Amino acid sequence: MGGRRLPPQLCTRCKGYKKLCGLTICPILERFRTQVSITTSMRDLSLLDGATPPNIIVGEQGYPHVSLLYGIPPGIHGDQARKFNDPKEWHRRRISLNTILRLRSSIVSATIRVRVDEPEALYNKELSLAAVSEKPVESEASLERPPSMKLRFDGLLIPQGPNAKAREIRVSSNPSLPRQLEKLIWDYDVKASDAIWELYLTTNDVYIATNALSLGLLGQRKMRRIVPTRWAITAVDDIVAKRLLAKVKRYDTINEVEVYHASYLGNIFTIILAPGSFEAEMVEIWHPLTPWTQTAYEPIIYTIRETPTARITTMDGGYMATRLAIVEHLYRRKRQAKAIIVREITRDYYAPVGNWHIRETSRQALVETPTRFQNLVDALKYTSSLHRFKGLPRLLESLNLTHKILYERSLDEYLKR
């Protein structure tokens, strides 16, 4: 690094994803990678045998020649494998960051190179079907060399354990697919976005749709591509939220200000819903000593704004995840609202584990009973009391959406009826 100090403002916006610093490898993620070294329970280092939970990731480096990481916890079979990649369950049981890192570091990935425009090759070996299975799938991989004992991090993805190039990967039990998905795989006329929507409605979540999109199982025959997993995550969050929003924007507005709150993995979330047509602003407060603010002396603030006409200031996987949770909530209660989201990241979030926790913690916050207020000012005061950051009252006041809610008049005042 030669003494170069990366501004943490840049890192919180980038999260190792956009390479805003101009370096080809994120030095922060790289440092994590070497800090967490691990040992494996593999006895024969050239043969990987176990059940994939499933856990199959498509990388993005070298696009359109990308790597596929086929994750198997060595020696773990059947349902026992599920817990190694089960974000919803981790969240439900409030599994600690430590445990998540331990689970993830014991998954070994067999990697192969694939061309993004050849999804059939993966399909024929059933590798892509394993990725969308509802149950763990028995698998076997012969490795070219012993796995490197490192844990790999990424702002959007679940950390990946040791990996090694595979000579071959074999699927030895039958993947079990949702029936709707089986139908969609054979449907060469349906557009990928329509297929994602259908899958979301039948599986009631985004995770299977994300994997199906990523492995090139959806869409019109000639348009099918293998999609890097982190692109697929945000694409599916966005496609589903947009469809829900089209309906939500026709609903009546809520009539009080509601404050929802939850925290997990050192991330404190507050979601404020206020009367009015849908739009949103999210503010992230990164305390010093989180993954992206190692060199910061004071909290770094980062905001993302979505206007009523759905213009979003920056594409951010974290915002897309919380936005999905909020739109799902509004859709369920057939109401619309304006949303101010506060995400405070404390130093307890010492390693990034992917954006699933943002989606799940936001969802959890929104099923709890909200604290209700007659006006936004009181709701903002209450919100500040739920957080650690001392500057929050001023920060909330300065938000664009706050200003708009407080000061924008309605034409009704001027139109005589």
Partner 1 sequence: MQLEFFDARIWRYLVSAISKVIEEGVFIVSPNEGMRFRAMDPSHVILLDMYFPKDSFETFDVGEEVRIGINFEDLAKVLRRAKKEDRLILESKDSTSFSITFKGKGERTFTLPVLDIVAEEIPEPQLEFKASIKIMSDIYRDTIKDVELIGDIVKFIASSEEFKIASSSEFGEAEIIYSRESGSIIDLEVEDVQEASYTLEYFTDLSGAARVADTITIRFSTDMPAEVIHEIPQGVVFKFLVAPRVE
How far apart CA 271 and CA 283 sit, in angstroms, is 10
Per CB under 8 A, 408 contacts partner 1: yes
- The H or E element spanning position 269 is strand 267-274
At closest approach, how far in Å is the CB of 119 from partner 1?
30
At closest approach, how far in Å is the CB of 407 from partner 1?
4
At closest approach, how far in Å is the CB of 273 from partner 1?
15
At closest approach, how far in Å is the CB of 309 from partner 1?
5
Per CB under 8 A, 54 contacts partner 1: no
Cβ atoms of residues 118 and 79 within 8 Å: no
How far apart CA 288 and CA 296 sit, in angstroms, is 5
At closest approach, how far in Å is the CB of 250 from partner 1?
8
Nearer to partner 1, 153 or 302 (CB): 302
At closest approach, how far in Å is the CB of 303 from partner 1?
10
Per CB under 8 A, 314 contacts partner 1: no
**404: buried, middle or exposed (CB in 10 Å: 19+, 13-18, 0-12)?**
middle
Per CB under 8 A, 394 contacts partner 1: no
Per CB under 8 A, 403 contacts partner 1: yes
DSSP per-residue letters across 93-113? TT--HHHHHHHHHT-EEEEEE
- The H or E element spanning position 262 is strand 257-264
Per CB under 8 A, 413 contacts partner 1: yes
Tell the residue number behind the tokens 């600690």, with chain if given.
96
Per CB under 8 A, 189 contacts partner 1: no
At closest approach, how far in Å is the CB of 288 from partner 1?
21
- Residues in Cβ contact with 47 at an 8 Å cutoff, skipping those fewer than 6 apart: 140, 141, 142, 143
How far apart CA 282 and CA 171 sit, in angstroms, is 43
| Number of residues located near partner 1, criterion CB under 8 A | 24
- Residues in Cβ contact with 222 at an 8 Å cutoff, skipping those fewer than 6 apart: none
Per CB under 8 A, 249 contacts partner 1: yes
Near partner 1 by CB under 8 A: residue from 19, 89, 308, 367: 308
| Three-state secondary structure readout of 294-325 | CCCCCCEEEEEEECCCCCECCCCHHHHHHHHH
Nearer to partner 1, 297 or 414 (CB): 414
How far apart CA 48 and CA 75 sit, in angstroms, is 8
Pick the closest to residue 37 from 149, 201, 141, 146 (CA basis).
149
Near partner 1 by CB under 8 A: residue from 277, 314, 374, 375: 277
Site residues for partner 1, 116-145, by CB under 8 A, read none
Nearer to partner 1, 276 or 354 (CB): 276
Near partner 1 by CB under 8 A: residue from 136, 161, 276, 370: 276
Near partner 1 by CB under 8 A: residue from 5, 179, 222, 409: 409
- Residues in Cβ contact with 408 at an 8 Å cutoff, skipping those fewer than 6 apart: none
Nearer to partner 1, 1 or 411 (CB): 411
Near partner 1 by CB under 8 A: residue from 9, 46, 96, 307: 307
- Write out the residues near partner 1 by the rule CB under 8 A: 249-250, 253, 276-277, 307-309, 336, 398, 400, 403-404, 407-417
